[in-house]
């Protein structure tokens, strides 16, 4: 279910399951529909909200905070907050409880509230984020990435546990602030993410994050966990997702990742890799058994075009090692490879090597 | 009558085309849910206003009443 349906349900004070029939409606339309409902619900009260916001100028701050929390339901407080003078909002935010602020945050409109929210101090926003992470309100939080300042975003993400990050990251719309915050996550938090999430969860995070953003986290992942992440990604057939990470992993990590690849995985992923000497070194070092499996996979798969692309990516050392083991293939597979290589379907290098292969 | 007429009426605006294209029974239910929320919202607002006026300290009751009741 789209998070927007949850927002509509909250506005109508219904359970999300009561909002039926909106499956398949684009999020942008649901957001527009939410705003239309919000407008119609509060149309009659706009003047009153403006007057309540004006009250904050005449009532002392401490009293205004107490009165708001006692008499103003969060949904109405949110409409009023959008009309507050930023300086007043900054004063009031410290005078109400965090759970009340969290309820208001859930009812705020990320666009209309931006001028006010941008003026709020980072610390209470971090506390509200902690409260909302605790309630798993990831979708609503994600909508505020473009609303808050970079300092507030720091405070909010600092409050996130590794599992919170795992849940919220795929929902985020990336902007420069977010790039800055992710790039500068404290080392302790990065280590916590890298060591608290299991391999499958780190695989999810890897698919949700751009490698350049994931780089510091990858660097903190234990080498032995990399094999688990790779296994999870190979199992899901996420070859392109994996290939993106070649530039940010160490040779040891690459070795660990390729060690868990089946021959079919290798054939699928090799053409997608941005080739480097480090990859050559790892591939050159693949055990003989892996090369035998790879050769057999090429022969039985008979996808010569894909095999040619993969083969031509290999170093001459790896190519020679492969053909030096030609006689390990079954008779049927030898026949297929020979026909393909001689026919030029595996490329010029394969045709040359075929001539020297052991019969 | 267009099937989204009730929804347009309660919303006071034309919803996005993808919503208007929903089956009539879905549109009717949405219109009903929004109408009910509007009524509830008004009732809650009045209750909050009365409670606020009665509950605030006497010294500020006048300005609170003026702000809330206009």
Contact: A39, B15; criterion CB under 8 Å: no
Q: What is the largest CA-CA distance in chain B?
A: 55
Per-residue pLDDT tens digits for B13-29: 999 999 999 999 999 99
Per-residue pLDDT tens digits for A10-33: 889 899 899 999 999 998 899 899
**CA distance to partner chain B, nearest, from residue A63 (Å):** 9
Contact: A14, B29; criterion CB under 8 Å: no
Tell me the chain B residues in contact with residue A41 when contact means C-beta distances shorter than 8 Å: 34, 37-38, 41
Q: What is the mean pLDDT of chain A?
A: 88
Residue B65, pLDDT > 70, answer yes
The partner residue sitting opposite B37, judged by closest CB among A12, A39, A58, is: A12
Whether A52 and chain B come into contact, CB under 8 Å, resolves to yes
More confident residue, A158 or A183: A158
Q: Does residue A9 contact residue A19 with C-beta atoms inside 8 Å? A: yes
Site from A9, A20, A37 to mutate, B interface, most B CB atoms within 10 angstroms: A37
- HSE at residue B23, side-chain half, CA atoms within 13 A, is 7
Q: What is the DSSP letter of B16?
A: P
pLDDT of the residue at A359: 65
Whether B43 and chain A come into contact, CB under 8 Å, resolves to no
Per-residue pLDDT tens digits for A121-171: 999 999 999 999 999 999 888 889 889 999 999 999 999 999 999 999 888
Whether B8 and chain A come into contact, CB under 8 Å, resolves to no
Q: What is the DSSP letter of B13?
A: S
Tell me the chain A residues in contact with residue B29 when contact means C-beta distances shorter than 8 Å: 20-21
Nearest-angstrom CA–CA distance, A93 and A90: 6
**CA distance to partner chain A, nearest, from residue B2 (Å):** 18
Contact: A52, B67; criterion CB under 8 Å: yes
Q: What is the largest CA-CA distance in chain A?
A: 96
**What average pLDDT does this structure show over A94-98?**
94
Q: Which two tokens stand for residue A133?
A: 């992470």
Phi, psi of A347 (to 5 degrees): 95, 170
Q: Which residues contact A58 (CB under 8 A, 6 or more apart)?
A: B63
Chain B CA closest to residue A11: B37
Chain A CA closest to residue B14: A36
pLDDT of the residue at A184: 87
pLDDT of the residue at B1: 59
Torsion sign over Cα A54, A55, A58, A64 = negative
The partner residue sitting opposite B63, judged by closest CB among A11, A13, A55, is: A55
Contact: A71, B55; criterion CB under 8 Å: yes
Q: Does residue A353 contact residue A320 with C-beta atoms inside 8 Å? A: yes
CA A97 to chain CA centroid, nearest Å: 32
ipTM of the complex: 0.89
Q: How many CB atoms are located within 10 Å of the residue A349 CB? A: 17
**CA distance to partner chain A, nearest, from residue B3 (Å):** 15
Q: Does residue A190 contact residue A202 with C-beta atoms inside 8 Å? A: no
């Amino acid at each position: 279910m789209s998070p927007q349906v949850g927002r509509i349900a909250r506005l109508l004070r219904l359970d999300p399951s009561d909002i039926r029939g909106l499956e398949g409606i684009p999020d942008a339309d649901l957001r527009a529909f939410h705003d239309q409902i919000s407008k119609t619900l509060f149309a009659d009260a706009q003047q009153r909200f403006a007057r309540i916001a004006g009250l904050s100028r005449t009532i002392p701050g401490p009293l205004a905070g107490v009165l708001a929390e006692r008499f103003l339901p969060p949904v109405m407080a949110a409409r009023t907050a959008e009309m507050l003078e930023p300086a007043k909002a900054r004063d009031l935010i410290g005078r109400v409880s965090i759970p009340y602020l969290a309820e208001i945050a859930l009812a705020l409109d990320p666009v209309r509230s931006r001028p006010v929210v941008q003026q709020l101090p980072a610390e209470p926003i971090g506390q509200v984020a902690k409260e909302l992470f605790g309630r798993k309100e990831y979708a609503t939080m994600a909508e505020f990435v473009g609303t808050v300042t970079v300092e507030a975003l720091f405070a909010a993400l600092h409050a996130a546990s590794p599992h919170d990050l795992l849940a919220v990251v795929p929902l985020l719309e990336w902007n420069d602030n977010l790039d800055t915050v992710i790039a500068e996550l404290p080392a302790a938090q990065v280590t916590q993410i890298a060591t608290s999430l299991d391999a499958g969860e780190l695989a999810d995070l890897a698919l949700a994050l751009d490698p350049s953003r994931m780089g510091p986290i990858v660097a903190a992942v234990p080498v032995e966990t990399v094999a688990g992440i790779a296994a999870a990604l190979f199992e899901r057939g996420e070859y392109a997702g994996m290939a993106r990470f070649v530039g940010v992993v160490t040779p040891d990590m690459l070795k660990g990742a390729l060690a868990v690849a089946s021959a079919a995985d290798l054939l699928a992923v090799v053409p997608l890799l941005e080739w480097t000497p480090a990859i050559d070194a790892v591939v050159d070092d693949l055990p003989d058994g892996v090369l035998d499996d790879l050769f057999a996979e090429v022969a039985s798969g008979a996808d010569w075009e894909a095999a040619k692309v993969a083969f031509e990516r290999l170093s001459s050392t790896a190519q020679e090692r492969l053909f030096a083991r030609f006689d390990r293939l079954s008779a049927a597979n030898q026949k297929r490879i020979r026909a393909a290589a001689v026919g030029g379907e595996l490329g010029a290098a394969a045709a040359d090597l075929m001539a020297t292969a052991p019969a | 009558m267009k099937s989204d007429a009730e929804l347009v009426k309660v919303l006071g605006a034309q919803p996005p085309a993808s919503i208007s294209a929903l089956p009539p029974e879905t549109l009717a239910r949405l219109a009903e849910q929004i109408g009910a929320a509007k009524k509830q919202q008004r009732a809650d607002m009045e209750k909050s206003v009365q409670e606020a006026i009665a509950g605030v300290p006497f010294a500020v009751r006048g300005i609170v009443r003026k702000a809330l009741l206009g």
